Amino acid sequence: MPDVNNHQPWHRFRDAISASGKLSLEDGDKALRLVDDAIALAISEQENRWVLTLSHHAAVICNFLGRTELVKRYYQQSLAFNPENSRALYGLAIVAKEQGETQLARDYAVRCHKGLMSGDDFLRDSLLELLLRYWPSDLFGTAPDQITEVLEAVYTAGVPKAQNTKPKPGDMVVLIELPPGLLDDLPPEDQQAINEVVGKPILLRKYDEDGRAELAFKDSAGTFHYIYVDPAFIRPGD
């Protein structure tokens, strides 16, 4: 009996992200063609959530390749399917800022902030912190030396501060559970190594441009492993 999961559309999109990410280190144009094909498939199948995810992934690749105009195009493509997507708006704000388009950057930042405050993006706190560091006076009329106080107020509004502590790069964190699909297509030895660290303290190296947490650990054989997960799957280490 065929494995039904192998025929799920999301598997194709996930595989396109994985393959293009690796390929971008060798052939950026080929990597982008791979993502473009996946985006076209997602559009044809009305998988709008994947259109956004793939477009943001392509923008990250273009940023790595130094192709600013393509970064803008992919984020704008995302907005065509969700006009107030906070991640795309933040990406466009940063591009405009780097290109010296101050007013345009501010406009995108304000829209991003509005979307974050009214939505439930799991990266809400991370993006709010970045927005406030780049545009403190535009968003809150706040001076740079008052940012810490404003951030604390945003994070703790109606929620105990302890529940809003976001782990910082260099901290030890605990992988609460395995994200769906994380182990798919990995060699058995890698699957075993990752399974063994669930619930144990491991190193948070950094957050990538999509907000994913990069975790690093060494298995019992002395081999280093690096995995990327949604921050919702980690908590501060004890």
Angle at 144 between CA 142 and CA 150, to 5 degrees: 50
Closest by Cα among 65, 64, 67, 37 to 51: 37
Model confidence at 150: pLDDT above 80: no
Instruction: List Cβ neighbours of 57 (8 Å cut-off, separation of 6 or more).
Output: 17, 20, 21, 35, 210
Q: Which superfamily does CATH assign the domain made up of 4-164 to?
A: Tetratricopeptide repeat domain (1.25.40.10)
C-alpha to C-alpha distance for 165 and 66, rounded to whole angstroms: 33
Sequence spans of domains, the chain? 4-164, 172-236
Residue pair 178/194 in contact (Cβ under 8 Å)? The answer is: yes
CA dihedral 117→64→77→121, nearest 10 degrees, is -20
Place of tokens 């945003």: 154
Most confident range (mean pLDDT) of 6-10, 130-134, 139-143, 208-212 is 208-212
Mean pLDDT over each residue of the chain, to the nearest integer: 80
Position 152, amino acid: E
Q: Read off the pLDDT of each residue in 21-50 and give the average, rounded to a whole number.
A: 90
pTM of the entire predicted model: 0.61
Least confident of 71-75, 151-155, 157-161: 157-161
**Minimum mean pLDDT range among 51-55, 176-180, 216-220:** 176-180
